[in-house]
Amino acid sequence: MAGPAPLLLDVDTGIDDSLALLYACASPDAEIVAVTCVAGNIDAQQVARNTRAVLELAGRADVEVALGRETPLVRDLVTTPETHGPLGIGYAVLPPASRPLSPRFGPDVIVEEARRRPGELTLVTLGPMTNLALAVLREPALPTLLRRWVIMGGSYRSPGNTAPTTEWNVAVDPEAARICIAAFGRPEVVGVRREAGLPSLPLAMGLDVTERAKLLPEHLAALAARAGSSAATNRVLRFIDDALRFYMEFHSRYDGFYGAFVHDPFAVAAALEPALVRTEALTVEVELGGTLTTGETVTDWRRVRGLPPTLDVAVEGDAAAFFERFIERVGGLAARVG
């Protein structure tokens, strides 16, 4: 497909979602069609405020931002202010956005845009999959209308970050994750996509690869050097520094390093450039009834169940190449918008 890749981003903004938005805004190979907001890291209303403010910071107030579902499908909402701060963006402060929210409902945006441009749009879910689950329930053909679905979520062969075996985005709304993975992994859907020349399975960026992308203080220094500025004088750099300082303090307390896992921008980068990761087609199901494992992405590595694969699970990622792109693109954006 010629030209920039059209993206739908579904976010729960969040510090690393903020970086993913900046990365998408800074990428010449991306066309941001719309952004939909879901509850996860923080409540959905605050997600919507953060998302619009970050887009305006990046000079993209023109992007439509739609509020989606404000609670998981079945469970009570759990948020994580200890990870992202009380407002979701760490120590950063942004002025309120000038553009109002879209009148459209987030899941409707996903369905309507996919119908409008069948086979063209890549949907990247960076939070719980609640909005996508509602979209699939409304339009069962959605898995054949999207060019691809890229997931930041799951823990396939690595420890979890929420419980011993579970990853946050899946654990917040495991029912939604199960609906989505089952819908996109149906053999008839995979067959239709293959015949249309589309990637046959969703790309799953789990903790196995995203936790290899550790953003460290030297990356922030390189970002400032690329921007030719500093956090003292550049709004974008100041936002990144203030947001990430909270995140780095969190990881210093709980993960033993002063830095940050930047899950979401790595997922956006892989959506734009799949060669950044190596994948394996695997059967994945979401556990709903475990005493200790609800939300686990149960992965049949030995293929003992004999079921068709449902996800292209990323098993290796080129974090160094990703950071080169992040510094070049986001540093360039900072240089342009100040």
Q: What is the pLDDT of residue 293?
A: 97
Q: What CA–CA distances, in Å, run from 210 to 55, 87, 126, 142, 280? A: 23, 23, 12, 27, 16
27 contact partners, CB below 8 Å, separation of at least 6:
4, 268, 272, 329
The DSSP output letter for 166 is B
d(CA 216, CA 121): 33
Within the chain, which residues score under 70 in pLDDT? 1
263 is catalytic: yes
pLDDT, tens only, 191-249: 999 999 999 999 999 999 999 999 999 999 999 999 999 999 999 999 999 999 999 99
Per the structure, how many domains does the chain have?
1
Q: What CA–CA distances, in Å, run from 193 to 184, 190, 227? A: 10, 5, 41
d(CA 275, CA 277): 5
Q: What is the pLDDT of residue 1?
A: 52
CATH value at residue 76: 3.90.245.10
d(CA 99, CA 119): 30
Please tell me the pTM assigned to this model: 0.97
Produce one character per residue of 224-235: b if its CB has 16 or more CB atoms within 10 Å, e if not. bebbebebeebb
Range of the domain at 157: 5-337
Q: What is the pLDDT of residue 338?
A: 84
DSSP per residue, 242-270:
HHHHHHHHHHHHHTSSSSEE-HHHHHHHH
Q: Which of 84, 219, 251, 263 is catalytic?
A: 263
